[in-house]
Amino acid sequence: SWISGFEDLSNDLFCEIFDYFNGYELFESFSNLNFRFEKILHS
């Protein structure tokens, strides 16, 4: 499914994607989505 494909992306690629969001948008969109995103957002 699309979600499993999305979650298969590397952490480095997520960091590149996150560069396009401001801090508020980033936390509103990805916070509490799952443990992996929480770890990436807080690193």
Per-residue pLDDT of 1-43, as tens digits, reads 555 677 788 889 988 988 999 989 988 888 888 888 888 888 7
pTM of the predicted structure, to 2 decimals: 0.62
User: Residues of 4-39 as b/e, b for ≥16 C-beta within 10 angstroms?
Assistant: eeeeeeeeeebeeebeeeeeeebeeebeeeeeebee
Cα 6 to Cα 4: distance, rounded to the nearest angstrom:
5
Instruction: Name the 3-class secondary structure at 31.
Output: coil
| Predicted pLDDT of residue 23 | 87
Residue ranges per structural domain of the chain: 2-41
